[in-house]
Structure 1
Amino acid sequence: MKTLGSVGTRSLLFGVHQFLWHPFTVWLAWRELYGPPSWKETICIVLHDIGYWHKKSMNGSDGVNHPEAGAELAGRLFGEECRQLVLGHSRSYAQSYNMKPNKLCWADKLSIKYEPWWLYLPRAWMSGELMEYRGMADQTGFINKRQPHREWLSRLKEQMIEQAYEEVELAGLMSGPECRYPYSINRSSEYM
């Protein structure tokens, strides 16, 4: 797989952040949380992860700065408000620069709700992201790396979906007509 470029490039081409599918799921999540995004917000959704191009890791020293490329382009096109929207989509980036994670952050996190395991896991494996994500999950004690990938994904989805709903509700931003909170995960379906 390394012949196809860095893990960040592979993520955008066919991985977790695939340049067509991921923005679509973020758009769906935005619509659920806040109602339909404006056309400028839609462009920001499309641009928010383009900074992963050529990144050697997703969450390492270079990957953490991935919001900057999309933010620069959004800022040139639409001004400072859109630049800030793209910059604030990453919790780690926002924390590093004393910013609050914003609406795009929580739509980005909720987007995993629209990812069936049979589509997400093969993309994560092919791009090389799965090893990085599983290593981090093991290192932080989230889930042991010997547990099945589907179990890891199920727990990740539960955590990210609940956090997105909680943060949006706390901020008083929830206005989408399709918003269903509290979100309950169907635990009867094995590993979602």
Structure 2
Amino acid sequence: MRIRPTLRLCLATAATAGLLVGCADKDDSRDKHGEKKPAAQPTTSRSSQDTSSGNAPAWEPDDALQRAERALDAYDDDGTNPKLVDTDTSYIADRLAKTYEAPGDRPYRLDITCNTDGIEELTLTLTRGDEEQPYGIGCGDPEADQFNIPPGKPFKISAEPVKDGAGLFLWRLNTIAPEDVEGCEDDIKSC
């Protein structure tokens, strides 16, 4: 029997297809019975993860720092003209302990916030000499907490570490005009 040219082309195409399927099997796309395996599901990025079902993305320091900066920036248009003295950050797993000298004649305003993984409030302690005042700081609040401190004597801000805690404090210490002090004039003495 003679093979016609059309039949030769069909047989060659079938043989090529068989070789291609054989090659495809080498990449583990078929199971042991020769059935095609389902395609692997694509990995999801952190930004596309579903947070509505309670599967919130893991706490990330960079994201937390940005949220904390927004909380501090919430006071940018408050009508005061603060002069920046210092800005700093501390992880909640580390002990926060910072002392400021407080020279000059302008009152100081401490704007501070925290952003954590699952902790709603942390305790900040303001100390000057023998005077000490603890305050609860809301973590993740849209606005930072503010504390007024008169000039003249050194003061310290501190917080005990949260062992194995994920989170950070971010603060700015500013001086402000005396007429811009709102509320208590000395949050270390407490009003």
Q: TM-score, normalised by structure 2?
A: 0.26
Q: Which has the higher helix share?
A: 1
Structure of greater Rg: 2
Q: Which has the higher strand share?
A: 2
Q: TM-score, normalised by structure 1?
A: 0.26
